[in-house]
Homo-oligomer: A and B are copies of this chain.
Amino acid sequence: MSVFRNNMADEAAFQFLHNEVIQYIYKSAESGETENGRHIAKLENMGFRVGQGLIERLTKDTARFKDELDIMKFVCKDFWTCVFKKQIDNLRTNHQGIYVLQDNKFRLLSQLSAGKQYLEHAPKYLSFSCGLVRGALSSLGVKSIVTAEVSIMPACKTSREVLIKKSN
């Protein structure tokens, strides 16, 4: 197997499965305004549990974290790499419990075609990942609210900037 092909397809199984889950959840019921909210919540919950499981496995042999910032750094590096095969590109904080994690090339949006109409579909592609982060933080003792937004209209399919915001 060539290295090139391997790299490209490394996270593909996860990505394709994620898409199937979204489609399955959205297909299985009517899609009113309320229903949409419930689907988002379901995806967020799945992400939460996946995040819990992953962080427990990842931190099994890790020394205790010294503070919240230390935890956030771990999420940005080790945790994000485990799921998305890349690190978070930028971490900002107000040092009062708000953190903004920026991924300049967010994989789970790459199936979504560019264009204005995609904006309305973005939440369903982001909620699983919000849950992921919330679950990971929760298992490390940090209660949080995690939201996400697509910050910049993507120029090409593989470069989607996503901001993930953690607040108390």
If A21-B21, A24-B42, A28-B28 touch, does A16 touch B54 (CB 8 Å cutoff)? yes
Query: B18 and A17: CB pair below 8 A?
Result: yes
**Docked CA distance A50–B19 (Å):** 9
Contact A82 B50 (CB under 8 A): no
Q: A13-B14, A14-B13, A14-B17 are in contact. Are A1 and B81 (CB under 8 A)?
A: yes
Interface residues of A in 16-72 (CB under 8 A from B): 16-21, 24-25, 28, 42, 46, 49-50, 53-54, 57-58, 61
**Nearest CB on B from A42, distance (A):** 7
Q: Among B5, B25, B81, point to the contact of A58 (Cβ < 8 A).
A: B5
Does A149 touch B at the CB level, under 8 Å?
no
Check B42 against A9 for contact (C-beta < 8 Å). no
Query: Do the beta carbons of B1 and A78 come within 8 Å of each other?
Result: yes
Contact between B78 and A16 (Cβ–Cβ < 8 Å)? Answer: no
- For residue A83, which residues in chain B have a CB less than 8 angstroms away from its CB? 13
Q: In whole Å, how far is A2's beta carbon from the nearest beta carbon of chain B?
A: 8
Contact for A77 among B1, B9, B10, B28, CB less than 8 A: B1
* Contact of A46 with B61 at beta-carbon distance under 8 Å, contacts A13-B82, A54-B13, A78-B5 already known: no
- Shortest Cβ-Cβ A-B pairs, 3 listed: A16-B50, A20-B46, A16-B53
